[in-house]
Amino acid sequence: MKRFAVIGLGNFGFHAAKALYEDGNEVLAIDSDKGRVQAIDAHCTEAIVLDATDKDSLKALGLENLNGVIVSTGTKISISILICLYLQEIGIKKILVKALDEDHAKILKRVGATEIIHPERDMAVRISRGLSRPNILDFIPLSEDFDLVQVGPPREFIGKNLKDLNLRAKYNVHVIAIKELVPENFVLVPPASFVIKDSDILIMLGKSEDIRGIKALK
């Protein structure tokens, strides 16, 4: 199980926190607005009212042990920059920050953001590419109960072949492809003899709860 924090619970932050929590992660949701904190309370592990621009209060949360922090603080650029700087000084290794424009993104990078989020632009690119370069995955009618995900192999999978792992019978999931990173290669419908390496990425299809079971093995 991974642990995350989401700072700023507007529309984007609310749905980011909720999605992380529903995917089986521990999520700490933070906002200075009591109403927003109350709204997310049922959809996260813990929700707290806090001014994240107060460095001492932010540091007291012990965020340095989290897998990542998402910052989405609305239209006040200075607030997100200040929070990002504090997170970097605290020692957060993965800081994802919502940017309003390219100049904002450049500043965020300089003060410690490891990944910049452009929600509208990224969604526009995704939709446009789906229209101009459709692929077979676009036509798989997945219900809300199913996920198609990329997963790093749990330790107990490494060194074993797909036949021995028998993932379909044991976990009710299907490995439909594997991305080999060393050397780079893409194996569509891998054979039963394929041996899993720690550098591989498994592309799995299955029910959401079964996928969470695989992720929990790490």
User: Are 91 and 195 in a shared domain?
Assistant: no
User: Are 143 and 119 in a shared domain?
Assistant: no
pLDDT at 139: 46
Q: Is residue 206 part of a domain?
A: yes
For the chain, what is the domain count? 2
Distance CA 31, CA 46 (A): 12
Q: What is the rounded average pLDDT of the residues 68-95?
A: 94
pLDDT at 6: 97
Look up the CATH number of the domain holding residue 26. Answer: 3.40.50.720
User: Are 143 and 106 in a shared domain?
Assistant: no
Closest CA to 52 of 23, 74, 26: 74
User: Are 49 and 87 in a shared domain?
Assistant: yes
Q: Give per-residue pLDDT as tens, 141-184.
A: 555 677 888 888 998 999 999 999 999 999 999 999 999 888 88
> Domain span at residue 189?
139-216
Q: Is residue 20 part of a domain?
A: yes
Task: Give the number of other Cβ atoms within 10 Å of residue 50's Cβ.
Answer: 17
Q: Is residue 161 part of a domain?
A: yes
pLDDT at 213: 86
Q: Looking at per-residue confidence, does 209 or 90 come out higher?
A: 90
Lowest mean pLDDT among 35-49, 88-102, 145-159, 162-176: 145-159
Q: Is residue 129 part of a domain?
A: no
User: Are 9 and 115 in a shared domain?
Assistant: yes
pLDDT at 129: 64
User: Are 100 and 149 in a shared domain?
Assistant: no
User: Are 33 and 77 in a shared domain?
Assistant: yes
User: Are 10 and 88 in a shared domain?
Assistant: yes
Q: Is residue 119 part of a domain?
A: yes
Q: Which own/partner pairs from 191-194 qualify as long-range (CB within 8 Å, at least 24 positions apart)?
A: 191/162, 192/161, 192/162, 192/163, 193/161, 193/162, 193/163, 194/161, 194/162
pLDDT-above-70 percentage for the chain: 92
User: Are 172 and 71 in a shared domain?
Assistant: no
User: Are 54 and 88 in a shared domain?
Assistant: yes
| 21, 11 contact by CB (below 8 A) | no
User: Are 58 and 162 in a shared domain?
Assistant: no
Q: Is residue 128 part of a domain?
A: no
- pTM value surpassing 0.85: no
Domain termination site, one of 97, 123, 149: 123
User: Are 166 and 119 in a shared domain?
Assistant: no
